[in-house]
Structure 1
């Protein structure tokens, strides 16, 4: 069974990127996250949405 929410470390591992890169993607608004108390969690659906985005949008979002 897959968990609904992932820790930043788990989400980074799923994407095969560093935790720092994951935080950059969240800060840029490319990956959604939620805060529960003082813990940040990333919905699994947010990772799927990021991967399924049409390519090239990252450069447009950064401009």
Structure 2
């Protein structure tokens, strides 16, 4: 018999996917800079940091709430 699947597992998977997409987009922007970047964008690269933080958070939630089989 299976345990019900937690909504937090799906939230973790979604955060993990979004984090990967945002990180890849940020890495792509490193090699293809924006024509008119926002202030301090080139110094901090927020898409890379934000995507990495979302990915790590999503990975933690995915592992923590992984469905178990009895």
Bigger Rg, structure 1 or 2: 2
The reply to whether TM is greater than 0.5 is: no
The TM-score, its normalising length taken from structure 1, stands at: 0.25
Higher percent of residues as strand: 1
Identify the structure with bigger relative contact order (alpha carbons < 8 Å, sequence gap 6+). 2
